[in-house]
Structure 1
């Protein structure tokens, strides 16, 4: 479904009155993501993980290389084609509070993408917002509230509802559980896995939480200083990776809480909202 072909990206770094320098965020990235799978990108802070996600959904443009989506080059398509392609891709950010307009009611937050991309009537949008809230485990009354009235876990559910509102094929999950406590993390992963099965979604899961990656992902690539240095085509082989960057991440893991072990939440059997 998705293919990165020799993709590189540089940024200019420095204060406006001082000397600036080029920073190589990504260098010669090539990878493939299969339809209906969860592909994890793992790396230390500053390794280029979020830049890769932003390139995929069009928030940034590569300096060199191609990003193909279902056979089409995302950055060479005309404006109309690009809009259709980008409708099929959404992103859920780590900071759910910054991702939501605090002046908008939640029903309007969720409805906004539908108003942009579809010509639904007001009655249709109201019904779809209700269905989306139910799909992420929230009541219809939540639509009348504002973002500050929700916990981080609840608000992340709302941003997920907004992401799936226009029926995308791909969702970039950029550190979506890192700011949440452990039990809420598990409930969000359950929700995402259920939605993946029900909607046939493809995920690009960006994280440095190896426990979550093992629970959630199908394949994993290790990013270090803007380069892919290691891959596991089956996440169960993650611990066998040998590159020094992979070993640093593996050895830095905190012990997992026993009751949250993978055996209790087997992803392959499906995860469901409790």
Structure 2
């Protein structure tokens, strides 16, 4: 479904002693992501993970190489094709509070993409917002509230509802559980797994939490200084990777939260686990 072909991206920083400093964020990256799978990108901070996610959804343009979605070059498509592609690909960011307009009611936050991409009536939008809130485990009354009235976990559910509101095929998950406490992280991952199965979604999961990656992802690539340095076709094989960057990540893991915690805090339809 998705292919990165020899993709490179460089950013220019401010001047130092009269010279512009160029930073190579991504260097000659080639990856393939299969439909209906969860592909994880892991690496230390600054390794280029988020840049690849932004290149995929069109927030950044590669300096070299191609980003293909179902065979279409995302950065050479015409206007109408780009509009369709934007509908097919969405992103959920790490910080849900900065990703939501605090002056908008939650129903308008979720409805905004539908108003942009579809010509639904007000009644149709209201019904779809109700269904989306239910799908992510929130009550209909949440639509009448504002972002400051929710916890981080609840608000991340709202951003997920917004992301799936227009029926995307691919969702970039950029450190989506990083700012949440451990038990809420589990509930969000279970929600995302259920939605993936129900909606046949493809995920690009950006994270440095190896416990989450091992539980959630199918394949994993390790980035270091903008390059793919290691790869596992099956995430269960991650601990067998040998590159120094992979070993640093493996050795830096904290002890895992017990399996009992995962079983005691399941995600159930209509229930939010706090």
Q: Shorter-chain-normalised TM-score: which range?
A: over 0.9
SS of residue in 1 equivalent to 2:24: strand
- 5+ residue gaps, structure 1: none
Kindly indicate whether the alpha-carbon contact (under 8 Å) linking 1:7 and 1:64 is maintained by their aligned counterparts in 2.
yes
Which stretches of structure 1, 4 residues or longer, exceed 6 Å deviation after superposition?
A: none
Partner of 2:182: 182
Partner of 1:58: 58
Deviations 1:175-220 (A, max 9, x none): 0000000000000000000000000000000000000000000000
Contact between 2:183 and 2:261, CA under 8 Å: does it hold in 1? Answer: no
Distance in 2 between the 1:139 and 1:163 partners?
18
Aligned counterparts of 1:193 and 1:7: Cα–Cα separation in 2: 29
- Alignment partners' CA distance in 2, 1:217 and 1:272: 21
* C-alpha RMSD of matched pairs (Å): 1.7
* CA distance in 2 between partners of 1:104 and 1:222 (Å): 38
Q: Deviations over 1:30-89 (max 9, x none)?
A: 000000000000000000100000000000000000000001000001111111011100
- Is the contact between residue 193 and residue 271 of structure 1 (CA under 8 Å) also seen in structure 2? no
Match of 1:14, SS state, is strand
Number of residue pairs the alignment of both structures matches: 269
**1:11 aligns to what?**
11
Contact 1:105 1:145 in 2 (8 A): yes
- Which residue number corresponds to residue 141 of structure 1? 141
Deviation at 1:258, TM superposition (A): 1.9
1:2-81 alignment, distance < 5 Å: 2-14=2-14, 19-81=19-81
**Secondary structure of the residue that 1:31 maps to in structure 2?**
strand
1:201-243 CA deviation, whole Å, 9 max, x = no partner? Answer: 0000000000000000000000000000000000010100000
Deviation (angstroms), 1:259: 3.4
Q: Deviation of residue 19 (structure 1)?
A: 3.2
1:96-123 Cα offsets, whole Å, 9 max, x none, are 0000000000000000000000000000
Q: What residue in structure 2 maps to residue 157 of structure 1?
A: 157
Offset from partner CA, 1:130-182 (integer Å, 9 cap, x none):
00000000000000000000000000000000000000000000000000000
User: Please, what TM-score do these two structures have when normalized by structure 2?
Assistant: 0.95
- Could you tell me which runs of 5 or more consecutive residues in structure 2 were left unpaired when the two chains were aligned: none
Structure 1 window deviating more from structure 2 (8-17 vs 165-174): it is 8-17
Inter-partner Cα distance in structure 2 for 1:46 and 1:58: 19
Aligned to 2:253: 253
Aligned mates of 1:8, 1:187 — CA distance in 2: 35
Structure-2 residue corresponding to 1:170: 170
Listed one character per residue, the Cα deviations across residues 224-274 of structure 1 (whole Å, up to 9, x for unaligned) are 000000000000101000000000000000011223588x59xxxx98666
**Pairing of 1:165-244 with structure 2 (within 5 A):** 165-244=165-244
Task: State the SS of the aligned residue for 1:119.
Answer: coil
Contact 1:74 1:82 in 2 (8 A): yes
